[in-house]
Structure 1
Amino acid sequence: MDAKRPSSWLLTPHRGRKRRERLILFSVTIVSLLVYWRFYRKASLDLLQLLLPILSGKYLRDSSFFYTSSPHFAGQGLKQAQWTLKKWKEFGIPDSHIASYDAQLPAPTEQQRLALLRGSEVLYEAPLKDNDHGFLPAFYSFVSNANITASYVFANFGADEDYDDLVENNIRVAQNWGLVGVLLYPDPQNDYPITELNGYSPYPKGPARPAKMIERGDIGPFVSYADAIPILTALNGYGPSASELGTRWQGGELAIHGVRYNVGPSPETYLHIVTDAYIQSGQVHNVIGKIPRVLENDGQSVLDVWNATGTGIIGTPGGGDVIRFQGLLCASTIDFGFSQGLGDNVFPYHSGFDSFEWIIQYGDPGWEYHLTTTKLWLVMAAHLSELPILDMKTTDYADAIER
């Protein structure tokens, strides 16, 4: 669409949600041990004594290294699928195959842009890349293409109370008053206490958040806090500052970079935003395996590894994250992992820094969390596969939801 002016953009920090530590595919390990148990079990053997000693942190490390050795955006995971299929067959699951699905996949062009302008002068041009290891530039999947030039304001976390504070100070930002977009950035205050202000260096020199980190995910558009600094600094001295708007507005840790957290609006500077992506036909590749029955009353275990969950969870019909199974199929689901605790190293979730190198340096150097997670999944999966009748009641689920 044509450039618009002078409507408003909101700039707001992304509130740091406590995310579960994302741990890289353990399917190959769990599958091999489940097959081993299914074919060689004896009633006198203790399940834990049989399975758990086989696990190896080195094996998990080697598998993770392969899966992260090259970027594989949606539609680019065939090599990883073929490797997984080969491993599964080596483990004794001949009834395994790659299921490829036709899909409409988003991809960015070279026209994406975020720039800070004063008239025709470019004050700052965001690179839209955080760690150049073959990653695509940051873009917002399935968003409408647009070319917009607009003034902007700082809106704290974008909560209802924040908008109320802005209105009370005669700063109008609601949609009815000309709002055309939102930018989100991760303020280091959400990473307390692992921040530069507390003496920690950003990754890779230290455990703090990388300044150029851009989170890819379901909500956008995100920019790095390195991109936010010049945009926020341009508001210095214009409009109320965070210190005048109450405690909820305070605590931002970009002050060490010259940001005063004035709300604006921007007087002479504008943001130029270009979103330009296209939809192309492609395929996503899932690996599906079935562990056959050994005894007549055995159930059949079906395993599925899917591709393209990061772009609208389109990897498989009805598949994807746990919500897909729970919401669309009403299937019983379990989703668990380790949460980031206070004082833990900052997890560069879904970014170019979310890498094998970060894991071995800061995330899980001894692979203890990976190994523990695998043990928990393995014991649970093996136990459930052994029970002729699962001790589950639909009323238990309803009671849990009600609580």
Structure 2
Amino acid sequence: MQGVVLGCSKQRSPFNEIRGQWTKDLWEGFGIQANLTTHEANLTYPGDHRVALLDLNLKDPLVQEARRIEDTAPGAGPGQKPFIPSFFAWAGVGNVTAQYVFANFGLREDYDDLLNANVTVRGRIAVVKTVFGSSLLRKLHMGVHRQEQMQVAAEYGLAGLIVYTDPQLDGELTEANGYEAFPDGPARPPSMIERGVMSFAGSTFAIPAMPIAFADAIPILRALNGYGPSATEFGERWQGGGLNYKDVHYNVGPSPNNIVLNLCNKPIFPDGQVHHVIGTIPGSTFPDEVIMLGTHRDSWSPGAGDGSSGSSALNEVARSFGTALAQGWAPSRTIILASFEGVEFSLPGTQDWWEQNHWLNTSAFAYLNVVSAGAASKFHVQGSPLLGRAMRYGTGLVLDPNINANNQTMLDVWDGEVSIGTGGDASVLLGTELLSSVDFGFSAGEGDPPFPYHSLYDTDEWMDCYGDPNREYHLTTTKIWSLAVFALANDVLIPVTTNEYAVLLQGSLESVDMPGLHISSMENAINDLHQATLTFDTYADNLGSQILAQPDEPKLLSKAREVNQKYIKIERIFADPHPQSSSDRHLIIPRVPYYFQSSAFPALQESIAAGNLSAAEVSISGPLVNLY
């Protein structure tokens, strides 16, 4: 079924409830017990919004007003509510008119560069490039979310923020290089707008923000030509803007006194509901131990890549499990399948569902999440290292779908190391609830057509032409998902190597660098954890060998339960007792999606980035030295 952004307020169509019921009926048809749960949520929808370029010296000052719906974008379909116009969920509310500056990617380093060049930013509107993942951003080791762009803009005193999609992020496949824009070719459509959520916490920022297409950014940036330094006068991070062919010189401004932007962001905030579909396959030997898998059903757009591809893969996993159940299979552990709603609006309802099922705090070991099952060729695995072993099992049994793969497995393609971060609903289940989680799937890599992320061009037509024409990536993700869950749910001992966490922490110490910050106590704590996990893994391996020899021995099964309970508790030891926010409680793993380049110790790294030695010392002297 086609995706649609978050379900129903008191005033809106209950279409997502209908989609939830459709999913429930589908799973029940596969032979899986399923329930549709409803949760009250604070929502936000478009209201009064505007981005306009004004020349105050003209009798009619309006030079251009940015569009809010893509050109030639598809409709939502007969009988369905239209897709919403572009806006940023949970951006600040306001209506400001001010001079503006071009601030590159809107990072702290970018604003510092402007200030060092004597460019005033306080009280001005910043125009910045999107930071959605691309091979360029990976090359520059830049890993931020638009939330950080928003937070940094507020810290530096900006009056507002406008984010556009620069073709610079798209590599070779651009109009400037002679490629036609989709739907006539693979290049990014000039009118494509990248929507998104600005706050993981579901609370508004202090300043307004809006997304615009690069077609509408062109006149705004052209108006800065000749004003202020050029991007060519700054460092590597500023180079390579993709709109030079449109006569954009990438001067930073500020704009002259008469050339201003009007930025209005006045959304509405209705009370509403989200609907989750929860499927359950009871465990036979360890029914009180739970393995979860899931994805989100909602999207900002048609959502062929994000998130219908994840939903289609989840439905296929459900079908395969249903087939196995019909043939007499029963997992050792309970399996819970979850089709969540609301991730695109900062996950309202996911945490509520978890809190209503508090028994999972002592029963659930893992959550395996897929958002993008097949939007391009690059495979990623991101989350807790405790799930590395299960993911290596799944990827080791599935062939790489690429034509020139020469029968190599996905484990050969992937390096077998779970990278740091979270994604989709895993961001709340790992980052807030400390449930060991991974997000994996296929997304755009180097040389792939740009993914029309969160835009109305994320359609089946784009998927058929450029994303995954034969759905081979979808199928590969589905196979890996099924196999990894099978391993986690079927083995008497949950397949875990706890030392992988200690190895991650030891490697991450290299990124902890700040003059005056002494980390010897943290090093000692991690070394102690390293030795303890080696000892525990040896014990678990020996126990596993005994169980293979005597699979029905009650004493051995009792010891297996004890080991599994320790596995369930391990992630929870990394809970921050004094988190900076209620949604960011993990000491080690930040709440960031797959396309980020992230580092461990998010609170500590934030203190280091801000130059706050005292806050960094608090992190070092507190929970990070009491890991074991």
Which category describes the TM-score, using the shorter chain as reference length?
0.7 to 0.9
Using a 3 Å threshold, how does the CA distance of structure 1 residues 154 and 72 change in structure 2: closer, same or farther? Answer: closer
Q: Is the 8 A contact 2:192 2:214 kept in 1?
A: yes
Q: CA deviation at 1:158?
A: 2.5
1:171 equivalenced with 2:109 (yes/no): no
1:140 counterpart (88, 95, 100):
88
CA distance in 2: counterparts of 1:112 and 1:132, whole angstroms = 22
CA distance in 2: counterparts of 1:137 and 1:169, whole angstroms = 37
Q: Is the 8 A contact 1:67 1:80 kept in 2?
A: no
CA distance in 1: counterparts of 2:38 and 2:451, whole angstroms = 32
Pairs within 5 Å for 1:2-401: 66-68=1-3, 71-75=4-8, 76-93=15-32, 95-109=33-47, 111-119=48-56, 120-130=60-70, 131=73, 133=75, 134-174=82-122, 179-219=158-198, 221-267=210-256, 268-294=258-284, 298-317=332-351, 321-401=425-505
Using a 3 Å threshold, how does the CA distance of structure 1 residues 222 and 177 change in structure 2: closer, same or farther? Answer: closer
3-state DSSP of counterpart to 2:176: helix
Using a 3 Å threshold, how does the CA distance of structure 1 residues 249 and 177 change in structure 2: closer, same or farther? Answer: closer
Higher helix share: 2
Using a 3 Å threshold, how does the CA distance of structure 1 residues 158 and 296 change in structure 2: closer, same or farther? Answer: closer
3-state DSSP of counterpart to 2:232: helix
Q: Which moved more, 1:126-135 or 1:303-312?
A: 126-135
3-state DSSP of counterpart to 2:240: coil
The residue type paired with residue 90 of structure 2 is F
The residue type paired with residue 87 of structure 1 is L
Q: Is the 8 A contact 2:34 2:277 kept in 1?
A: yes
Q: CA deviation at 1:246?
A: 4.6
Q: How many residues align?
A: 334
CA distance in 1: counterparts of 2:266 and 2:36, whole angstroms = 32
Q: Is the 8 A contact 2:284 2:333 kept in 1?
A: no
CA offsets 1:162-195 (integer angstroms, 9 cap, x no match): 3333223321114798621221212111111111
The residue type paired with residue 288 of structure 1 is I
CA distance in 1: counterparts of 2:51 and 2:16, whole angstroms = 30
Q: CA deviation at 1:343?
A: 0.9
CA distance in 2: counterparts of 1:249 and 1:300, whole angstroms = 51
Q: CA deviation at 1:359?
A: 0.6
Using a 3 Å threshold, how does the CA distance of structure 1 residues 265 and 293 change in structure 2: closer, same or farther? Answer: closer
* TM-score (normalised: structure 1): 0.77
The residue type paired with residue 494 of structure 2 is L
3-state DSSP of counterpart to 1:222: strand
Q: CA deviation at 1:157?
A: 2.1
CA distance in 2: counterparts of 1:258 and 1:321, whole angstroms = 42
Using a 3 Å threshold, how does the CA distance of structure 1 residues 72 and 141 change in structure 2: closer, same or farther? Answer: closer
Q: CA deviation at 1:281?
A: 1.4
Partner residue of 1:8? none
Q: Is the 8 A contact 2:174 2:187 kept in 1?
A: yes
Q: CA deviation at 1:232?
A: 0.5
CA distance in 2: counterparts of 1:152 and 1:352, whole angstroms = 28
Q: CA deviation at 1:308?
A: 1.0
Q: Is the 8 A contact 2:87 2:196 kept in 1?
A: no
Q: CA deviation at 1:253?
A: 1.5
CA distance in 1: counterparts of 2:351 and 2:232, whole angstroms = 50
CA distance in 1: counterparts of 2:345 and 2:265, whole angstroms = 16
CA distance in 1: counterparts of 2:196 and 2:506, whole angstroms = 29
Q: Is the 8 A contact 1:74 1:310 kept in 2?
A: no
Instruction: Provide the alpha-carbon RMSD of the alignment.
Output: 2.2
Q: CA deviation at 1:216?
A: 1.8
3-state DSSP of counterpart to 1:78: helix
CA distance in 2: counterparts of 1:252 and 1:162, whole angstroms = 14
Q: CA deviation at 1:72?
A: 3.9
Partner residue of 2:415? none
Q: Is the 8 A contact 1:74 1:105 kept in 2?
A: no
3-state DSSP of counterpart to 1:276: strand
3-state DSSP of counterpart to 1:285: strand
Using a 3 Å threshold, how does the CA distance of structure 1 residues 336 and 177 change in structure 2: closer, same or farther? Answer: closer
CA offsets 1:62-117 (integer angstroms, 9 cap, x no match): xxxx234xx34343411211111111111112x311001011111111x2111001
Q: CA deviation at 1:395?
A: 4.4
CA distance in 2: counterparts of 1:182 and 1:209, whole angstroms = 22
The residue type paired with residue 216 of structure 2 is D
Partner residue of 1:4? none
Partner residue of 1:24? none
The residue type paired with residue 86 of structure 2 is A
CA distance in 2: counterparts of 1:148 and 1:301, whole angstroms = 50
CA offsets 1:338-397 (integer angstroms, 9 cap, x no match): 242211111111111111221111111110100111111011112222112213254433
Partner residue of 2:519? none
Using a 3 Å threshold, how does the CA distance of structure 1 residues 176 and 276 change in structure 2: closer, same or farther? Answer: closer
The residue type paired with residue 99 of structure 1 is T
The residue type paired with residue 119 of structure 2 is I
* TM-score (normalised: structure 2): 0.51
Q: Give percent identity, aligned residues only.
A: 43
Of structures 1 and 2, the one scoring higher in RCO (CA 8 A, sep 6+) is: 1
Q: Is the 8 A contact 1:193 1:342 kept in 2?
A: no
Q: CA deviation at 1:296?
A: 7.7
3-state DSSP of counterpart to 1:173: coil
Unaligned runs of 5+ in 2: 9-14, 76-81, 123-153, 199-208, 288-331, 355-423, 508-628
Q: CA deviation at 1:138?
A: 1.2
Q: CA deviation at 1:335?
A: 1.4
CA offsets 1:139-165 (integer angstroms, 9 cap, x no match): 222233211100001112223443333
Q: CA deviation at 1:315?
A: 3.5
The residue type paired with residue 316 of structure 1 is T
